[in-house]
Each structure stands twice: as C-alpha cells, then as structure tokens.
Amino acid sequence: MEITNSGSLQEAILRLEQRRREQEQDLSAHFKHTYQSLQPMNILRNTFQGVTSSSGVRGNLLRAGLGLGAGLLTKRLFFGGSGSVIKKLLGTAVEVGVTKAVTNKTGSIIGDGLNLLKKLLGQPARKR
C-alpha cells in the first residue's frame, strides 16, 4: 500500500502495531510450549508414549514382562528363599530357562490360556 498522506501513514502504523502485537503473542505462546516440552518429566513422558505407541514394542514389552514374571514365580515356588549357594544357582538357572521359554512362546501360551478360560466358562473354544 502506498502512503501518500498523514491519514494513510497513521493507518499503516496501526496495522504494523497490530501485526507486532500478534507476533508477540505467537512468540510468547511458542516459548511457553517449548518451555513445557523441555521439562524433564515431559521429555520422559513423551519418549515413553512414543516408544509404547508402537504395537511391536508393546508386544515385546508384554512378552518380556510375562517371561520375567513367570521365571521369578517359578524360582520362588520351587526354591523359595533358601540360603544354599547351589540352590540359588539352580534356582537362577531355572528362572532364566522359564523366562526364555515363556518369552519365546508367549503367543501360544496366551492363546491356550484364553481357550482354557473359555472352556471353564462354558464358551466354545477358539480355533487356531
């Protein structure tokens, strides 16, 4: 727009001042958002959400959790908290073996468990 008189100059100044206020507000909002996203707790939360949103990662976490839980439970059931070094070593070996077996066969274990539950509840079993 061409400025030819004081009226058009005042109008241009008002438009520029309005534009500056809008840019300041945008900059302030962007700064607040950036500040919030860089806080350590938010970084951890966003990273964890990003990692667990992938179905492959979720499946791996589930398999690992089930395997570890089964291994620890087996060790605790069969060997308890015995003080013997040999029993502790044997218990750890059994724990690792069960953890590995459950981790590798999680899908079939879950499927078999669901079929067993359906049989117990009187529902027809799912075919695989």
Average pLDDT, the chain: 80
Q: Is the pLDDT of residue 14 over 90?
A: yes
The predicted pLDDT at position 97 comes to 85
Mean pLDDT of 90-105: 82
Which letter, b or e, does each residue of 93-126 get, where b requires 16 or more Cβ atoms within 10 Å of its Cβ?
ebbeebbeebbeebeebeeeeebeeeeeeeeeee
pTM above 0.75, yes or no: no
The predicted pLDDT at position 73 comes to 83
**Residue type present at position 90:** L
